[in-house]
Chains A and B, each alone.
Chain A
Amino acid sequence: MSKGRVDKETGVETTGHSWDGIEELNNPLPRWWLWTLYACIVWAIGYTIAYPAWPMVSGATSGLLGFSTRAQVAEQITEHEAKNAQLVTDLLNADLAAISPSDDLHRYAVARGGSVFAAQCSQCHGSGAAGAKGYPNLLDDDWLWGGDVDAIAYTINHGIRNETDPDARYSEMPAFGEFLSGEEIDAVVEYVVSLSSGDVDSTLAQEGRTVFADNCASCHGDEGLGDRELGAPNIADALWLYGGDRETLHETVYNARFGVMPAWGQRLSDEDVRAVALYVHGLGGGE
């Protein structure tokens, strides 16, 4: 190579490029840097051969190493499940009520149950398990069918009033609109309101008491305390599944209610059902 012009000010050779008299100095890049660029190109080509890279019509080249993130995840899940195998066995064989909350098995079950709950149960019961109108709040101490962990597990396993599981918890309130007159329903509603609140028309409530004793007490009890064997709600407490105002109660008595829950035992594994039971039991209302 012949020497280019040397810039007087800096003593540096120029590239010979000149724009409006401004000349470009040539401060050469180290050659090893150029080689790192080539090395990177070679690496990149090798990489696209070894790993999935080039997009094709359907999918991409799979790469010589056969690497796939999906397979990697599957492998990690398998690894994880192998690690938890003993806990799963323990969970299946344990007496749920006897597992101590400080036990690793309990922590595992609650964590597992939490994720199952989020995926399967939260649609109706809410992600915080606070429920909604017609869908019970699982955080409080009011249970229609029992709140100990075995009762909860049974409910999850077989569900409520579904047609798929013969062991489902089942009860049905009649639609009293067919049997009772409007006045009688008004009266019994007033009486039911009086059970949990003082602010009522006492004459009307007194009339309703008789209607209640004749039609309702057989399931809900004389005092309206309900019956868990029948899934009959306690209607003397502060909590209402569908609402405790007169209008809603009128609707409930007239049409009745028929809340359904699927039998999760048919959809989930036994360990998942047990895990969710422990999770729900630990939310605050467990007995």
Chain B
Amino acid sequence: MSEPALYAAQEPIFPRRVTGVFRRLKWWILGVTLSIYYLTPWLRWDRGPNLPDQAVLVDMANRRFYFLWIEIWPHEFYFVAGLLIMAGLGLFLFTSALGRVWCGYTCPQTVWTDLFILVERWIEGDRNARVRLHHAKWDFKKWRLRITKWAVWLVISVATGGAWVFYFADAPTLLGDLVRLSAHPAAYITIAVLTATTFIFGGFLREQICIYMCPWPRIQAAMMDPDTITVAYREWRGEPRGKGNVRKRDRAAAEKAEAESRAAGPGEARYTSTPYPNKALQVGGAPLLAAAQQEHGDCIDCMACVNVCPMGIDIRNGQQMECITCALCIDACDDVMAKIGKPRGLIDYMALSDEPAERAGGAPKSVWRHILRPRTLLYTAMWALLGLGLVYALFIRTDIELTVSPERNPTYVVQSDGSVRNIYDVRLRNKSGDDRQFRMSLTTDAALRIDLEGNDGHLDVSVPADTTILQRVYVTALPQDPAATDRETDLRIWVEDLVTGARASRETTFNGRR
């Protein structure tokens, strides 16, 4: 037996243009998400003279993240972690409720591929023209069309990579630097890498990314259950399929063929155009042909659903890992159903748990009864709780902060008069855009005195705008004070803005000699 081919060439896919509700929705989402991506870095936001005026800025050099009125410092990275967890839970929620809507509508791979296919269609024509061009010789016309297409793709790719770097530096300044070739090499390298990935992923790899590289198609199987609303084919309504003009001929042919097939035993399936033919149709020739003898279903086998599919699959073969539930087959099929006077929804968003009822002629459960179930409610609750927690954390933030780390080497210092001193490294943060004057103080039950290093007895510290300073703070107990010999005494170190009266404090302990 000869060795089978273990590697296969990528099957070219030529999605046909389609119109309809979901296609329109997808165009809108494409427009909105791309606009957000490309335009966000150019939004301005006035934060005063000492801070950048870019609305969304990840300032790596100064370790700040600016989002509109919110400024996140490195020690507040939990906000970012929280948002990422929310994004994860949100993905779980949407997948368990609505299947792979992320993949089908908002995933950058889908959005950019859609954009690239739009360009492709605009330059090379719709499906049939593209198939012809694909098979055509490499003559002048083919070169012209291909180079034009690649050039437009490249422009989009450069813009995509270019937009990314603007999130990390002042966009107008960086654009000027990029044009003058004076920007940091990291910017050019980032743009080059993202240009290459956009160009290759959106132009050539497309569905290969989803099928072979992305982990999500595997994980989503664990997120979906029979109540999940997903894209499916109403096989009980559509089968047995058959083209309208051949239905009559089919019937006659079927009768003849059936007689022959009975004699010949199980043979090769008729529908082998797709990799995973429907099992019921595939096992032997006889059942299929017997079915063909009965009345035909609504599917006229026009292949519209297959022709529009960006993943190159046949939704009629059932749930498949390749399906990103972009719903374009629904639009395509609805269009056909309207033309032949049948009700829409042969291919539709539906819950697989409705199948038995529908097969028996009953009505499906309402969408909300599918969506509202313990699993989705739990995801929603977790998502909302986390969100509320983050919002709460955001609102109780002050623009003054301090952290106190008591010196532990040594825990106390005895002075020549016998008094006992503790040392604290206090970090004072001024998160506002102005230089500020802070006064430090102490509250405690014992008679402790506070001093600041290098301050000659006074307790005021000036902290420049948007800065953290380290201030060494001394707390002293006189020899006769119980705190000098007690193991631990609680105290609270305060910092107060003398102008606004804003205060912040931290609790810590004082260690006596022991």
> Measuring CB to CB, which residues of chain A are less than 8 angstroms from any residue of chain B?
1-2, 4, 8-16, 26, 28-34, 100-102, 106, 126-128, 130, 137, 139-142, 234, 237-239, 282-284
Contacts and interface: CB of A to CB of B under 8 A. Distances in A.
Contacts of A9: 279
Contacts of B277: 11
A30 B208 contact: yes
Given A130-B409, A130-B410, A33 B421 contact: no
A31 B8 contact: yes
Given A11-B275, A11-B276, A140-B415, A28 B5 contact: yes
A239 B420 CA distance: 11
Interface string B368-401: 0000000000000000000000000000000000
B407 to A, nearest CB: 7
A16 B208 contact: no
A141 B472 contact: no
A-B pairs, top 3 by smallest CB distance, nearest first, are: A128-B409, A101-B454, A28-B8
A276 B8 CA distance: 69
Given A1-B5, A282-B472, A127 B462 contact: no
B408 to A, nearest CB: 8
B244 to A, nearest CB: 27
B10 to A, nearest CB: 6
A82 to B, nearest CB: 19
29 contacts: A2-B1, A2-B2, A11-B269, A11-B276, A12-B275, A12-B276, A16-B3, A26-B6, A28-B7, A29-B6, A30-B8, A32-B205, A32-B208, A101-B454, A106-B454, A128-B408, A128-B409, A137-B413, A140-B413, A140-B415, A142-B415, A142-B416, A237-B417, A238-B479, A282-B454, A284-B413, A284-B423, A284-B472, A284-B474
A287 B328 CA distance: 80
B413 to A, nearest CB: 4
Nearest to B479: A238
Contacts of A1: 2-5
Interface of B is mostly: loop
A244 B340 CA distance: 108
Interface string B451-472: 0011100000010000000001
B269 A282 contact: no
Contacts of A8: 283
B69 interface: no
Interface string B469-499: 0001010000100000000000000000000
Interface of B: 1-10, 205, 208, 212, 269, 272, 275-277, 279, 282-283, 407-410, 413-418, 421, 423, 453-455, 462, 472, 474, 479
Contacts of B408: 128
B453 A30 contact: no
B421 A284 contact: yes
B212 A11 contact: no
Nearest to B204: A32
Contacts of B4: 1, 4, 13-16, 26
Given A8-B283, A33-B212, A237 B416 contact: yes
A219 to B, nearest CB: 18
B414 A101 contact: no
Interface of A is mostly: loop
Contacts of B474: 284
A34 B410 CA distance: 62
Given A16-B1, A33-B212, A127-B409, A239 B416 contact: yes
A30 B276 CA distance: 17
Contacts of A142: 415-416
A15 B4 CA distance: 6
Contact of B10 (A10, A31, A126, A284): A31
A234 B416 contact: yes
Among B283, B413, B418, B472, find the residue whose CB has the most chain A CB atoms closer than 10 A.
Answer: B413
Given A12-B275, A101-B453, A141 B8 contact: no
Contacts of A29: 6-8
A156 B453 CA distance: 21
Contacts of B205: 32
Contact of B455 (A14, A32, A101, A126): A101
Contacts of A127: 409
A10 B407 contact: no
Contacts of B479: 238
Nearest to B471: A101
A28 B383 CA distance: 40
A238 B212 contact: no
Contacts of B3: 1, 16
A127 B408 CA distance: 11
A191 to B, nearest CB: 19
A141 B409 contact: no
A9 B409 CA distance: 73
Among B269, B275, B414, find the residue whose CB has the most chain A CB atoms closer than 10 A.
Answer: B414
A29 B9 CA distance: 9
Contact of B1 (A4, A126, A283): A4
Contact of B414 (A11, A31, A32, A239): A239
B415 A238 contact: yes
Contacts of A26: 4-6
A239 B418 CA distance: 8
